[in-house]
C-alpha cells in the first residue's frame, strides 16, 4: 500500500520547483494531486488549475471544484511564495542610497502570508467536516534565524511559523495537523543560476557539503502528510543539511 493511497491533495505553487516535485512525489505515493499556480503546466501525475492564492474568491472557487470532483480534500501544501530582497536602508558614502520599497513589502506579505492564510481558511471547513486533514506550510530557515537583506521574506516566513503554531492549536482537536517545513539552500532553477563562487559558499556553509534538492523537501512534506506523522503537530521541520549549526 502506498503512503497516500486515496488521499486528495492540493499543492499551491505546484507548477515548478519544490511544488512540482511535491506534486510528483505525492502522486507516486497514491494521492490525487491538484496543483495550483498562477501559470505553468501540471507536474506528471497531477491535475492543474490556475489559481491566485491572494484572491479569496478564486481560491474559494477552486476548493468548491475540488470538492465537487473528489468529495474531500485531505492535504493542503501551502508552497506558493515569492522573494523580493532589499535592505531596510542602504547607506553609502555617508548618505541614504536606498530603502525597502513599500510595494515589495506589500507583495511578499500578500503572497507569502495572506495567500497561505486564505488557502488554509478555505480548506479547513471541509477538513473539519470529514474529521481529518493535513495542512503543510512553507517556511524557511531564514524565518527562524533571519538573513541580511531579506526583511520582507524573513518577516513572511516567520509569520508562517506563527500561523502554523496557532492553527495547530485550533485545528488539532478537529483531527487536522498543521506543520511547517523550513528549507535551507535548495537547488531550484533560480539558485542554480547564481554565480559559481556564491554556490560554493553555500555548500561550504552547509555541514553536509551539498545544496539541497527539491526532492529533499518533497520527502519532508510526504512524511508530514502521511499517517506516520499523525502525532506531529505544530512542528517546524528544518531541512537544511545542518546549515544553522554550520554558520
pLDDT in tens, 101-118: 999 999 999 999 999 999
Q: Which residue has the cell 527562524?
A: 144
What is the rounded radius of gyration, in angstroms, for the C-alpha atoms of the chain? 18
Catalytic residues: 153
Q: What is the DSSP letter of 111?
A: I
The contacts of residue 58 (CB under 8 Å, 6+ apart) are 51, 52
* 142-178 confidence digits (pLDDT tens): 999 988 889 999 999 999 999 999 999 999 999 999 9
- The average pLDDT across 6-26 equals 97
* 56-105 confidence digits (pLDDT tens): 999 999 999 999 999 999 999 999 999 998 999 999 999 999 999 999 99
Q: For residues 114 and 129, give the distance between their C-alpha atoms in angstroms, rounded to a whole number.
A: 24
Task: Residue 38: name the closest of 62, 7, 67, 9 by CA.
Answer: 62
User: Do residues 207 and 201 lie in contact, with contact meaning Cβ atoms separated by under 8 Å?
Assistant: no
Domains of the chain: 8-187+213-241 (3.40.50.720)
User: Do residues 162 and 184 lie in contact, with contact meaning Cβ atoms separated by under 8 Å?
Assistant: no
User: Do residues 100 and 185 lie in contact, with contact meaning Cβ atoms separated by under 8 Å?
Assistant: no
Q: What pLDDT is stored for residue 215 in this prediction?
A: 97
Q: What pLDDT is stored for residue 246 in this prediction?
A: 47
Q: For residues 22 and 136, give the distance between their C-alpha atoms in angstroms, rounded to a whole number.
A: 11
Q: Which residue has the cell 510595494?
A: 103
pLDDT at 1 over 90: no
Q: For residues 118 and 12, give the distance between their C-alpha atoms in angstroms, rounded to a whole number.
A: 12
Amino acid at each position: 500500500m502506498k503512503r497516500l493511497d486515496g488521499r486528495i491533495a492540493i499543492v499551491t505553487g505546484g507548477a515548478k520547483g519544490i511544488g512540482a516535485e511535491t506534486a510528483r512525489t505525492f502522486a507516486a505515493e497514491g494521492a490525487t494531486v491538484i496543483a495550483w499556480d498562477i501559470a505553468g503546466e501540471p507536474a506528471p501525475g497531477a491535475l492543474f488549475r490556475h489559481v491566485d492564492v491572494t484572491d479569496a474568491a478564486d481560491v474559494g472557487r477552486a476548493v468548491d471544484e475540488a470538492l465537487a470532483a473528489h468529495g474531500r480534500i485531505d492535504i493542503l501544501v501551502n508552497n506558493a511564495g515569492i522573494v523580493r530582497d532589499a535592505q531596510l536602508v542602504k547607506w553609502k558614502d555617508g548618505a541614504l542610497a536606498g530603502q525597502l520599497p513599500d510595494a515589495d513589502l506589500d507583495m511578499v506579505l500578500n503572497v507569502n502570508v495572506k495567500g497561505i492564510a486564505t488557502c488554509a481558511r478555505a480548506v479547513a471547513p471541509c477538513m473539519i467536516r470529514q474529521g481529518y486533514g493535513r495542512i503543510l506550510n512553507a517556511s524557511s530557515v531564514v524565518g527562524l534565524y533571519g538573513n541580511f537583506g531579506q526583511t520582507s521574506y524573513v518577516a513572511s516566513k516567520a509569520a508562517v511559523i506563527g500561523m502554523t503554531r496557532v492553527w495547530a492549536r485550533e485545528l488539532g482537536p478537529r483531527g487536522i495537523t498543521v506543520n511547517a517545513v523550513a528549507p535551507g539552500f535548495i537547488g531550484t532553477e533560480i539558485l542554480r543560476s547564481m554565480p559559481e563562487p556564491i554556490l560554493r559558499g553555500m555548500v561550504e556553509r552547509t555541514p553536509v557539503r551539498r545544496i539541497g534538492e527539491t526532492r529533499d523537501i518533497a520527502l519532508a512534506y510526504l512524511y508530514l502528510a502521511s499517517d506516520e506523522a499523525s502525532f506531529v503537530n505544530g512542528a517546524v521541520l528544518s531541512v537544511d543539511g545542518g546549515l544553522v549549526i554550520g554558520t
